[in-house]
Structure 1
Amino acid sequence: MAMTEAEKKRAQRARKKQEHDASLDSTYSYLKEPFFKWLERTDGGGDWTAAEAEMNLASIELPMFEDDRGPYPNDDAFGEDIDDCYTGYIGSIGRAEILVRSLVGAASCIASTINQYKQEEVKARLAELENPETADRATAIQEAVRLNKILDQLQKRVRMDLPSWKVTDI
């Protein structure tokens, strides 16, 4: 069966995204000093120390960058498909870029999980307020208004501003 125009366009976009993701960062050919050496020499411009502090607050240890190894795992826990995740990333700078990508992805997943939990709990409290045995209806109505405002806030998206760390297709 022939593909519809929409399916063709979706496939074209998917191919273009795959090519884009696989392409090397446009800055790589200009990077002479390896990232791990630059980190040693400059202490990450101070921001690396701040990142370590942020990670420590979350009880997570920031990986060490002591050599120019690329972004490959130390074991085969994820199987052969894991190599596709690292296409287009080279050396210690590539490992740092994967770290950013992974942390942003993890933060998004964690935020989504927290959001889902809070929405379910707030909706459960709203359901409890619908009980006609509640003695003070005026207080119950005020609480319901407050809970609905909380739900409205939880249904919004948060936008984070990050410096660009990957440049491709230039």
Structure 2
Amino acid sequence: MAKSAAEYQRAYRERKAEQAKLAGDPSDQIADRRFFEYVPDDGNYQEVLNYLEWAGISRKAVPCFDTDDDPEHDPENDGPYRGSIGRAERMVGMLLDAATELAAIINRYKRKEISDQIQEIEASDLSDPDARKQALADIVRLQKMLDQLEKRVRWSLPQWKVTGE
């Protein structure tokens, strides 16, 4: 059976993505210094450590960039070995994944608690007109909270990966 144009295009994109992955980051070829040599000169890495420490993550748990090693490198998934810069880029991705998952957990928790509160109000005795009026106001307020939690937020980050040329 012949492939459709969409299938040819999909296969082409997959081949290009695989080639780009195997080629690595083109900025690696023009760098004069390795990433681990640069980090001590950039005073902002201390800020990264401060933020993580304020979040309860011990500085001892955060990899330091004092060598150009990358012990967790996986050639199957990570492409060519890139040393400390490859490890740093993966750390950014993993921290973003962790933040995304934690945000989702918080979101589910708040939505459940708000929904439970709405159900509790709906199940309460609303025969008194003042109580009914207050309950409706509370439900409207809680529903606005749920509506806000339905929205997505976007954070602007500097680009940290370079692909292609």
Aligned-partner Cα distance in 2 for 1:92–1:98: 10
Classify 1:114/1:30 alpha carbon distance in 2 versus 1 (closer, same or farther; 3 Å).
same
Q: Report the number of matched residues.
A: 159
Instruction: Return the letter of the residue paired with 1:126.
Output: I
Structure 1 unaligned blocks of 5 or more: 74-81
- Offset, 1:67: 0.4
2:63 maps to 63
Per-residue deviation, 1:86: 2.2
Aligned residue for 2:123, secondary structure, equals: coil
Q: Among residues 114, 122, 136, which one is paired with 2:114 in the alignment?
A: 122
Q: Which runs of 5+ in 2 are unaligned?
A: none
What RMSD in Å do the two structures reach over aligned CA positions?
Answer: 2.3
> Are the counterparts in 2 of residues 36 and 92 from structure 1 also a CA contact under 8 Å?
yes
> As a proportion of its length, which structure holds more helix?
2
Which string of whole-angstrom CA distances, capped at 9 and with x for unpartnered residues, describes residues 67-121 of structure 1? 0012526xxxxxxxx5433224511111111111111111111111111111111
Alpha-carbon shift at residue 10 of structure 1 (Å):
5.1
TM-score, length basis structure 2? 0.82
**Counterpart-to-counterpart distance in 1, 2:121 and 2:80:** 54
Say which of 119, 131, 149 aligns to 1:154.
Answer: 149
Shift of 1:142: 0.9
* The structure with more radius of gyration: 2
Q: Check conservation: 1:89, 1:97, Cα contact below 8 A.
A: no
- Between 83-92 and 64-73, the greater mean CA deviation after superposition: 83-92
Identity %: 37
Do structure 1's residue 52 and structure 2's residue 44 form an aligned pair? no
TM-score, scaled relative to structure 1: 0.80
The residue number in structure 2 matching 1:78 is none
